[in-house]
Structure 1
Amino acid sequence: MDTTTYPAPQHRTATTTAPPPRGPAATFALHLGAMAVAMLLGMLLLAPVATALADAAGWDQAAAGPEAEALVMAATMTLGMAVWMVHRGHGPRAVGEMTAAMVLPFAMGLAPYWAGLVSAADALVVGHVLMLPAMVGAMLLRRSEYTGGHAHIRARTAWGRAVEAVAHRWPTLLALGLTFDSWLRPGIPPAWTLLLLGAEYLVIGAVRREFHRDRLLAAHIAGFVLYLGLAAVAATTPATVAGPVIAAAWILHIAWDAALHRADRVTWRWYAEACAVIDLVVGVTVLLAL
Protein backbone atom coordinates (compact mmCIF):
# COMPACT_ATOMS: atom_id res chain seq x y z
CA MET A 1 0.00 0.00 0.00
CA ASP A 2 1.44 3.34 -1.05
CA THR A 3 1.81 5.54 2.04
CA THR A 4 3.61 8.42 0.32
CA THR A 5 2.35 11.77 1.50
CA TYR A 6 2.40 14.97 -0.46
CA PRO A 7 2.61 18.50 0.94
CA ALA A 8 -0.59 20.47 0.90
CA PRO A 9 -0.76 23.08 -1.85
CA GLN A 10 0.20 26.56 -0.78
CA HIS A 11 -2.58 29.07 -1.42
CA ARG A 12 -1.01 32.46 -2.05
CA THR A 13 -3.58 35.04 -1.13
CA ALA A 14 -1.31 37.97 -0.37
CA THR A 15 0.53 38.20 -3.66
CA THR A 16 0.25 37.06 -7.23
CA THR A 17 3.21 36.96 -9.60
CA ALA A 18 2.72 37.31 -13.33
CA PRO A 19 5.47 35.81 -15.49
CA PRO A 20 6.76 38.10 -18.22
CA PRO A 21 5.25 37.19 -21.60
CA ARG A 22 8.35 38.46 -23.48
CA GLY A 23 12.05 38.93 -22.99
CA PRO A 24 13.42 41.39 -20.40
CA ALA A 25 14.26 44.12 -22.93
CA ALA A 26 10.86 43.95 -24.63
CA THR A 27 9.06 43.87 -21.27
CA PHE A 28 11.05 46.91 -20.12
CA ALA A 29 10.21 48.80 -23.31
CA LEU A 30 6.52 47.93 -23.06
CA HIS A 31 6.42 49.14 -19.45
CA LEU A 32 8.01 52.43 -20.47
CA GLY A 33 5.72 52.85 -23.48
CA ALA A 34 2.58 52.11 -21.48
CA MET A 35 3.52 54.62 -18.78
CA ALA A 36 4.36 57.24 -21.40
CA VAL A 37 0.94 56.79 -23.01
CA ALA A 38 -0.75 56.91 -19.60
CA MET A 39 0.97 60.16 -18.65
CA LEU A 40 0.10 61.77 -22.01
CA LEU A 41 -3.54 60.74 -21.57
CA GLY A 42 -3.46 62.13 -18.06
CA MET A 43 -2.24 65.50 -19.35
CA LEU A 44 -4.71 65.61 -22.27
CA LEU A 45 -7.70 64.60 -20.17
CA LEU A 46 -6.96 66.36 -16.88
CA ALA A 47 -5.42 69.63 -18.11
CA PRO A 48 -8.84 70.93 -19.30
CA VAL A 49 -10.25 70.01 -15.89
CA ALA A 50 -7.51 71.99 -14.15
CA THR A 51 -8.05 74.95 -16.47
CA ALA A 52 -11.81 74.94 -15.85
CA LEU A 53 -11.32 74.80 -12.08
CA ALA A 54 -8.83 77.66 -12.26
CA ASP A 55 -11.24 79.76 -14.32
CA ALA A 56 -14.07 79.01 -11.89
CA ALA A 57 -11.87 80.16 -9.02
CA GLY A 58 -10.92 83.34 -10.91
CA TRP A 59 -7.27 82.34 -11.17
CA ASP A 60 -5.45 83.33 -14.35
CA GLN A 61 -3.14 80.39 -14.93
CA ALA A 62 -1.35 82.05 -17.84
CA ALA A 63 -0.47 85.09 -15.72
CA ALA A 64 0.86 82.92 -12.90
CA GLY A 65 4.06 82.16 -14.77
CA PRO A 66 5.75 78.92 -15.85
CA GLU A 67 5.68 77.59 -12.29
CA ALA A 68 1.91 77.15 -12.43
CA GLU A 69 2.00 75.61 -15.89
CA ALA A 70 4.77 73.23 -14.86
CA LEU A 71 2.81 72.25 -11.76
CA VAL A 72 -0.33 71.49 -13.78
CA MET A 73 1.60 69.52 -16.40
CA ALA A 74 3.52 67.50 -13.84
CA ALA A 75 0.43 66.80 -11.72
CA THR A 76 -1.81 65.71 -14.59
CA MET A 77 0.85 63.48 -16.17
CA THR A 78 1.78 61.98 -12.81
CA LEU A 79 -1.84 61.18 -11.97
CA GLY A 80 -2.34 59.39 -15.29
CA MET A 81 0.86 57.42 -14.85
CA ALA A 82 0.13 56.57 -11.19
CA VAL A 83 -3.36 55.28 -11.94
CA TRP A 84 -1.96 53.03 -14.65
CA MET A 85 0.87 51.73 -12.45
CA VAL A 86 -1.50 50.89 -9.60
CA HIS A 87 -3.84 49.21 -12.08
CA ARG A 88 -0.93 47.07 -13.32
CA GLY A 89 -0.05 46.01 -9.79
CA HIS A 90 2.97 48.17 -8.93
CA GLY A 91 3.43 48.94 -5.25
CA PRO A 92 3.51 52.33 -3.52
CA ARG A 93 7.33 52.49 -3.57
CA ALA A 94 7.53 52.04 -7.35
CA VAL A 95 4.76 54.60 -7.89
CA GLY A 96 6.49 57.06 -5.55
CA GLU A 97 9.82 56.68 -7.33
CA MET A 98 8.26 57.21 -10.73
CA THR A 99 6.36 60.24 -9.43
CA ALA A 100 9.64 61.78 -8.29
CA ALA A 101 11.18 61.00 -11.69
CA MET A 102 8.39 62.97 -13.37
CA VAL A 103 8.25 65.95 -11.00
CA LEU A 104 11.97 66.63 -10.42
CA PRO A 105 12.77 67.34 -14.12
CA PHE A 106 10.36 70.28 -14.08
CA ALA A 107 12.06 71.63 -10.96
CA MET A 108 15.41 71.27 -12.72
CA GLY A 109 14.02 73.15 -15.70
CA LEU A 110 12.75 76.00 -13.55
CA ALA A 111 16.07 76.47 -11.77
CA PRO A 112 17.86 78.07 -14.78
CA TYR A 113 14.72 80.13 -15.44
CA TRP A 114 14.87 81.56 -11.93
CA ALA A 115 18.54 82.30 -12.52
CA GLY A 116 17.64 84.24 -15.67
CA LEU A 117 19.47 81.84 -17.98
CA VAL A 118 16.50 80.54 -20.03
CA SER A 119 13.03 81.75 -20.97
CA ALA A 120 9.80 80.46 -19.45
CA ALA A 121 9.04 78.40 -22.57
CA ASP A 122 12.52 76.87 -22.55
CA ALA A 123 12.14 75.95 -18.88
CA LEU A 124 9.11 73.85 -19.70
CA VAL A 125 10.91 72.26 -22.64
CA VAL A 126 13.78 71.28 -20.34
CA GLY A 127 11.33 69.61 -17.98
CA HIS A 128 9.79 67.57 -20.78
CA VAL A 129 13.16 66.60 -22.26
CA LEU A 130 14.56 65.42 -18.92
CA MET A 131 11.44 63.51 -17.90
CA LEU A 132 11.91 60.46 -20.12
CA PRO A 133 15.56 59.85 -19.10
CA ALA A 134 14.52 60.29 -15.46
CA MET A 135 11.78 57.66 -15.89
CA VAL A 136 14.26 55.27 -17.52
CA GLY A 137 16.67 55.86 -14.62
CA ALA A 138 13.98 55.08 -12.06
CA MET A 139 13.14 51.89 -13.93
CA LEU A 140 16.78 50.81 -14.10
CA LEU A 141 17.13 51.26 -10.34
CA ARG A 142 14.56 48.47 -9.93
CA ARG A 143 15.18 46.53 -13.12
CA SER A 144 13.37 43.42 -11.89
CA GLU A 145 10.20 45.48 -11.37
CA TYR A 146 10.05 46.32 -15.06
CA THR A 147 11.80 43.44 -16.84
CA GLY A 148 10.01 40.46 -15.33
CA GLY A 149 6.92 39.37 -13.51
CA HIS A 150 6.53 41.23 -10.27
CA ALA A 151 4.60 40.43 -7.15
CA HIS A 152 1.40 42.35 -6.67
CA ILE A 153 1.13 42.97 -2.94
CA ARG A 154 -2.41 43.76 -1.97
CA ALA A 155 -2.91 46.99 -0.12
CA ARG A 156 -3.08 46.59 3.64
CA THR A 157 -4.60 49.96 4.51
CA ALA A 158 -8.01 51.40 3.72
CA TRP A 159 -6.34 54.25 1.82
CA GLY A 160 -4.30 51.81 -0.26
CA ARG A 161 -7.38 49.74 -1.09
CA ALA A 162 -9.23 52.91 -2.07
CA VAL A 163 -6.42 53.92 -4.42
CA GLU A 164 -6.43 50.46 -6.00
CA ALA A 165 -10.21 50.57 -6.41
CA VAL A 166 -9.97 53.93 -8.19
CA ALA A 167 -7.12 52.71 -10.38
CA HIS A 168 -9.09 49.66 -11.48
CA ARG A 169 -11.87 51.98 -12.61
CA TRP A 170 -9.60 53.59 -15.19
CA PRO A 171 -12.21 53.18 -17.99
CA THR A 172 -14.58 55.35 -15.95
CA LEU A 173 -11.85 57.95 -15.36
CA LEU A 174 -10.99 57.94 -19.05
CA ALA A 175 -14.63 58.43 -20.02
CA LEU A 176 -15.09 61.26 -17.52
CA GLY A 177 -12.03 62.99 -18.93
CA LEU A 178 -13.22 62.62 -22.51
CA THR A 179 -16.64 64.08 -21.69
CA PHE A 180 -15.60 66.78 -19.22
CA ASP A 181 -16.08 69.53 -21.79
CA SER A 182 -19.72 68.46 -22.18
CA TRP A 183 -20.47 69.79 -18.71
CA LEU A 184 -18.90 73.16 -19.53
CA ARG A 185 -20.52 73.53 -22.95
CA PRO A 186 -23.54 71.22 -23.11
CA GLY A 187 -24.98 70.70 -26.56
CA ILE A 188 -27.09 68.35 -28.64
CA PRO A 189 -25.21 65.84 -30.84
CA PRO A 190 -26.40 65.43 -34.45
CA ALA A 191 -29.08 62.84 -35.14
CA TRP A 192 -26.65 60.66 -37.11
CA THR A 193 -24.72 59.88 -33.92
CA LEU A 194 -27.59 57.59 -32.98
CA LEU A 195 -26.66 55.43 -35.98
CA LEU A 196 -23.22 55.00 -34.44
CA LEU A 197 -24.77 54.01 -31.12
CA GLY A 198 -26.90 51.38 -32.80
CA ALA A 199 -24.15 49.98 -34.98
CA GLU A 200 -21.05 50.02 -32.74
CA TYR A 201 -21.65 46.75 -30.88
CA LEU A 202 -22.97 45.05 -33.99
CA VAL A 203 -19.73 45.90 -35.79
CA ILE A 204 -17.48 45.05 -32.83
CA GLY A 205 -19.24 41.73 -32.29
CA ALA A 206 -18.92 40.84 -35.95
CA VAL A 207 -15.21 41.69 -36.02
CA ARG A 208 -14.61 39.66 -32.87
CA ARG A 209 -16.75 36.79 -34.24
CA GLU A 210 -19.05 36.80 -31.24
CA PHE A 211 -22.20 36.16 -33.25
CA HIS A 212 -23.20 32.67 -34.35
CA ARG A 213 -26.60 33.26 -35.92
CA ASP A 214 -28.18 33.04 -32.49
CA ARG A 215 -30.49 35.22 -30.43
CA LEU A 216 -27.59 37.51 -29.52
CA LEU A 217 -27.16 38.49 -33.16
CA ALA A 218 -30.92 38.96 -33.56
CA ALA A 219 -30.98 41.21 -30.49
CA HIS A 220 -28.21 43.41 -31.87
CA ILE A 221 -29.88 43.69 -35.26
CA ALA A 222 -33.11 44.69 -33.49
CA GLY A 223 -31.15 47.29 -31.51
CA PHE A 224 -29.67 48.72 -34.67
CA VAL A 225 -33.12 48.95 -36.26
CA LEU A 226 -34.44 50.71 -33.15
CA TYR A 227 -31.66 53.31 -33.24
CA LEU A 228 -32.10 53.71 -36.97
CA GLY A 229 -35.70 54.66 -36.27
CA LEU A 230 -34.72 57.02 -33.45
CA ALA A 231 -32.18 58.71 -35.74
CA ALA A 232 -34.86 59.15 -38.41
CA VAL A 233 -37.22 60.73 -35.88
CA ALA A 234 -34.52 63.07 -34.55
CA ALA A 235 -33.53 64.12 -38.06
CA THR A 236 -37.07 64.92 -39.27
CA THR A 237 -38.67 66.59 -36.26
CA PRO A 238 -38.34 70.07 -34.70
CA ALA A 239 -35.60 70.66 -32.16
CA THR A 240 -38.15 70.60 -29.34
CA VAL A 241 -38.79 66.94 -30.17
CA ALA A 242 -35.40 65.92 -31.53
CA GLY A 243 -33.53 67.00 -28.38
CA PRO A 244 -35.44 64.80 -25.94
CA VAL A 245 -35.31 61.88 -28.41
CA ILE A 246 -31.53 62.16 -28.69
CA ALA A 247 -31.14 62.43 -24.91
CA ALA A 248 -33.38 59.41 -24.34
CA ALA A 249 -31.46 57.38 -26.94
CA TRP A 250 -28.10 58.04 -25.28
CA ILE A 251 -29.43 57.25 -21.81
CA LEU A 252 -31.22 54.11 -23.07
CA HIS A 253 -27.93 52.89 -24.52
CA ILE A 254 -26.57 52.52 -20.96
CA ALA A 255 -28.71 49.39 -20.53
CA TRP A 256 -27.04 47.91 -23.61
CA ASP A 257 -23.60 48.75 -22.20
CA ALA A 258 -24.43 47.25 -18.81
CA ALA A 259 -25.82 44.03 -20.28
CA LEU A 260 -22.70 43.40 -22.37
CA HIS A 261 -20.42 44.35 -19.47
CA ARG A 262 -22.13 41.86 -17.22
CA ALA A 263 -22.21 39.11 -19.84
CA ASP A 264 -18.58 39.79 -20.89
CA ARG A 265 -19.60 39.16 -24.50
CA VAL A 266 -19.37 40.97 -27.83
CA THR A 267 -17.13 43.80 -26.60
CA TRP A 268 -14.41 44.34 -24.04
CA ARG A 269 -15.53 44.94 -20.46
CA TRP A 270 -13.44 48.10 -20.19
CA TYR A 271 -15.01 49.43 -23.38
CA ALA A 272 -18.54 48.75 -22.15
CA GLU A 273 -17.76 50.46 -18.84
CA ALA A 274 -16.37 53.55 -20.56
CA CYS A 275 -19.30 53.67 -22.99
CA ALA A 276 -21.81 53.54 -20.14
CA VAL A 277 -20.23 56.61 -18.52
CA ILE A 278 -20.01 58.48 -21.83
CA ASP A 279 -23.65 57.68 -22.64
CA LEU A 280 -24.78 58.91 -19.23
CA VAL A 281 -22.83 62.18 -19.44
CA VAL A 282 -23.94 62.92 -22.99
CA GLY A 283 -27.57 62.09 -22.21
CA VAL A 284 -27.66 64.25 -19.09
CA THR A 285 -25.86 67.20 -20.70
CA VAL A 286 -28.23 67.07 -23.67
CA LEU A 287 -31.10 67.47 -21.21
CA LEU A 288 -29.27 70.42 -19.67
CA ALA A 289 -28.95 72.00 -23.11
CA LEU A 290 -32.67 71.78 -23.88
Structure 2
Amino acid sequence: MQAQRTRADRARARHFLRHYLEMVAAMVVGMLVLGAATRGVLALAGVEFSASRHPELASLEMAFGMSVGMAVRMRRRRHGWASTLEMCAVMFAPLLLLFPLLWLDVVTADSVIALEHLAMLPLMFLAMLRRRGEYGG
Protein backbone atom coordinates (compact mmCIF):
# COMPACT_ATOMS: atom_id res chain seq x y z
CA MET A 1 0.00 0.00 0.00
CA GLN A 2 2.76 2.44 0.99
CA ALA A 3 4.78 1.56 -2.14
CA GLN A 4 1.77 2.27 -4.36
CA ARG A 5 1.20 5.63 -2.69
CA THR A 6 4.87 6.54 -3.05
CA ARG A 7 4.82 5.56 -6.73
CA ALA A 8 1.68 7.63 -7.30
CA ASP A 9 3.24 10.60 -5.44
CA ARG A 10 6.35 10.39 -7.60
CA ALA A 11 4.23 10.23 -10.75
CA ARG A 12 2.29 13.33 -9.66
CA ALA A 13 5.52 15.15 -8.84
CA ARG A 14 6.96 14.27 -12.28
CA HIS A 15 3.76 15.46 -13.96
CA PHE A 16 3.86 18.70 -11.96
CA LEU A 17 7.52 19.32 -12.85
CA ARG A 18 6.93 18.51 -16.52
CA HIS A 19 3.98 20.89 -16.54
CA TYR A 20 6.14 23.62 -14.96
CA LEU A 21 8.89 23.14 -17.56
CA GLU A 22 6.36 23.14 -20.40
CA MET A 23 4.97 26.43 -19.13
CA VAL A 24 8.46 27.92 -18.93
CA ALA A 25 9.08 26.79 -22.52
CA ALA A 26 5.79 28.39 -23.62
CA MET A 27 6.83 31.61 -21.89
CA VAL A 28 10.17 31.63 -23.70
CA VAL A 29 8.51 31.01 -27.07
CA GLY A 30 6.00 33.79 -26.44
CA MET A 31 8.74 36.16 -25.31
CA LEU A 32 10.93 35.43 -28.33
CA VAL A 33 8.20 35.43 -30.98
CA LEU A 34 6.26 38.46 -29.76
CA GLY A 35 9.45 40.25 -28.75
CA ALA A 36 10.88 39.84 -32.24
CA ALA A 37 7.61 40.94 -33.82
CA THR A 38 7.36 43.98 -31.55
CA ARG A 39 10.93 45.04 -32.16
CA GLY A 40 10.52 44.47 -35.90
CA VAL A 41 7.42 46.65 -36.07
CA LEU A 42 9.09 49.34 -33.97
CA ALA A 43 12.19 49.25 -36.19
CA LEU A 44 10.02 49.63 -39.30
CA ALA A 45 8.38 52.62 -37.64
CA GLY A 46 11.80 54.09 -36.87
CA VAL A 47 11.36 53.77 -33.10
CA GLU A 48 14.45 52.82 -31.15
CA PHE A 49 13.68 50.48 -28.27
CA SER A 50 16.36 49.77 -25.68
CA ALA A 51 15.95 47.88 -22.42
CA SER A 52 18.63 50.00 -20.77
CA ARG A 53 16.99 53.27 -21.86
CA HIS A 54 13.36 52.11 -21.48
CA PRO A 55 13.44 49.38 -18.80
CA GLU A 56 9.77 49.77 -17.88
CA LEU A 57 8.59 49.31 -21.46
CA ALA A 58 10.99 46.45 -22.08
CA SER A 59 9.87 44.67 -18.90
CA LEU A 60 6.19 45.13 -19.69
CA GLU A 61 6.70 43.95 -23.27
CA MET A 62 8.54 40.86 -22.07
CA ALA A 63 5.90 40.04 -19.43
CA PHE A 64 3.18 40.46 -22.05
CA GLY A 65 4.91 38.14 -24.51
CA MET A 66 5.46 35.53 -21.83
CA SER A 67 1.84 35.83 -20.72
CA VAL A 68 0.53 35.32 -24.24
CA GLY A 69 2.70 32.25 -24.77
CA MET A 70 1.65 30.78 -21.45
CA ALA A 71 -2.04 31.62 -21.91
CA VAL A 72 -2.13 29.96 -25.33
CA ARG A 73 -0.54 26.83 -23.93
CA MET A 74 -2.76 26.74 -20.86
CA ARG A 75 -5.99 27.23 -22.81
CA ARG A 76 -4.96 24.52 -25.28
CA ARG A 77 -4.55 22.18 -22.32
CA ARG A 78 -8.02 23.21 -21.15
CA HIS A 79 -7.03 25.14 -18.05
CA GLY A 80 -9.72 27.46 -16.77
CA TRP A 81 -9.64 31.21 -17.21
CA ALA A 82 -9.06 31.80 -13.49
CA SER A 83 -5.82 29.80 -13.37
CA THR A 84 -4.72 31.15 -16.76
CA LEU A 85 -5.20 34.77 -15.72
CA GLU A 86 -3.63 34.09 -12.34
CA MET A 87 -0.53 32.73 -14.05
CA CYS A 88 -0.42 35.72 -16.40
CA ALA A 89 -0.63 38.05 -13.40
CA VAL A 90 2.44 36.32 -11.97
CA MET A 91 4.40 37.51 -15.03
CA PHE A 92 3.66 41.14 -14.13
CA ALA A 93 3.72 40.89 -10.30
CA PRO A 94 7.50 41.37 -9.84
CA LEU A 95 7.26 44.72 -11.62
CA LEU A 96 5.12 46.11 -8.80
CA LEU A 97 8.23 45.98 -6.64
CA LEU A 98 10.93 46.43 -9.28
CA PHE A 99 9.64 49.65 -10.87
CA PRO A 100 9.68 51.66 -7.61
CA LEU A 101 13.14 50.24 -6.85
CA LEU A 102 14.26 51.33 -10.32
CA TRP A 103 12.84 54.83 -9.86
CA LEU A 104 14.60 55.11 -6.49
CA ASP A 105 17.89 53.97 -8.09
CA VAL A 106 18.05 50.89 -5.88
CA VAL A 107 18.28 48.65 -8.96
CA THR A 108 19.74 49.56 -12.33
CA ALA A 109 17.87 49.66 -15.62
CA ASP A 110 20.07 46.85 -16.95
CA SER A 111 19.16 44.55 -14.04
CA VAL A 112 15.36 44.91 -14.07
CA ILE A 113 14.66 42.16 -16.61
CA ALA A 114 17.03 39.70 -14.92
CA LEU A 115 15.46 40.41 -11.53
CA GLU A 116 12.01 40.08 -13.07
CA HIS A 117 12.90 36.58 -14.28
CA LEU A 118 14.43 35.63 -10.93
CA ALA A 119 11.21 36.60 -9.14
CA MET A 120 8.77 35.34 -11.74
CA LEU A 121 9.90 31.71 -11.83
CA PRO A 122 9.44 30.96 -8.11
CA LEU A 123 6.19 32.95 -8.07
CA MET A 124 4.94 30.82 -10.94
CA PHE A 125 5.89 27.69 -9.00
CA LEU A 126 3.98 28.96 -5.96
CA ALA A 127 0.92 29.74 -8.08
CA MET A 128 1.06 26.18 -9.39
CA LEU A 129 1.34 24.78 -5.86
CA ARG A 130 -1.76 26.77 -4.94
CA ARG A 131 -3.65 24.80 -7.61
CA ARG A 132 -1.71 21.60 -7.14
CA GLY A 133 -4.63 19.40 -8.22
CA GLU A 134 -4.91 21.19 -11.54
CA TYR A 135 -1.19 21.07 -12.34
CA GLY A 136 -0.19 17.84 -10.64
CA GLY A 137 -2.15 15.36 -12.66
Give me the whole-angstrom Cα distance separating, in 2, the residues matched to 1:108 and 1:79: 22
Moved segments of 4+, more than 6 Å: none
Counterpart position of 1:91: 80
Give me the whole-angstrom Cα distance separating, in 1, the residues matched to 2:121 and 2:100: 19
- Letter of the structure 2 residue corresponding to residue 134 of structure 1: L
Identify the structure with bigger relative contact order (alpha carbons < 8 Å, sequence gap 6+).
Answer: 2
Q: Which runs of 5+ in 1 are unaligned?
A: 1-19, 149-290
Paired residues of 1:109 and 1:124 also in contact (CA < 8 A): no
CA deviations on 1:144-168 (whole Å, 9 max, x unpaired) are 11112xxxxxxxxxxxxxxxxxxxx
Query: Identity, % of aligned pairs?
Result: 38
Of residues 31, 34, 37 in structure 1, which corresponds to 2:25?
37
Q: Which runs of 5+ in 2 are unaligned?
A: 1-7
Aligned pairs for 1:105-124 (under 5 A) are: 105-124=94-113
Counterpart position of 1:56: 44
CA deviations on 1:252-275 (whole Å, 9 max, x unpaired) are xxxxxxxxxxxxxxxxxxxxxxxx
Paired residues of 1:42 and 1:80 also in contact (CA < 8 A): yes
Counterpart position of 1:81: 70
- Letter of the structure 2 residue corresponding to residue 24 of structure 1: R
1:88, distance to aligned residue in structure 2 (A): 0.8
Aligned pairs for 1:237-252 (under 5 A) are: none
1:111, distance to aligned residue in structure 2 (A): 2.2
Please identify the structure whose Cα radius of gyration is greater: 1
CA-based RMSD of the aligned residues comes to 1.8
Q: SS at 1:103's partner residue? A: helix
TM-score, normalised to structure 2, is 0.85
Q: SS at 2:79's partner residue? A: coil
1:64, distance to aligned residue in structure 2 (A): 5.3
Paired residues of 1:54 and 1:60 also in contact (CA < 8 A): yes
Counterpart position of 1:138: 127
CA 107–55 in structure 1, closer or farther in 2 if over 3 Å, else same: farther
Q: SS at 1:89's partner residue? A: coil
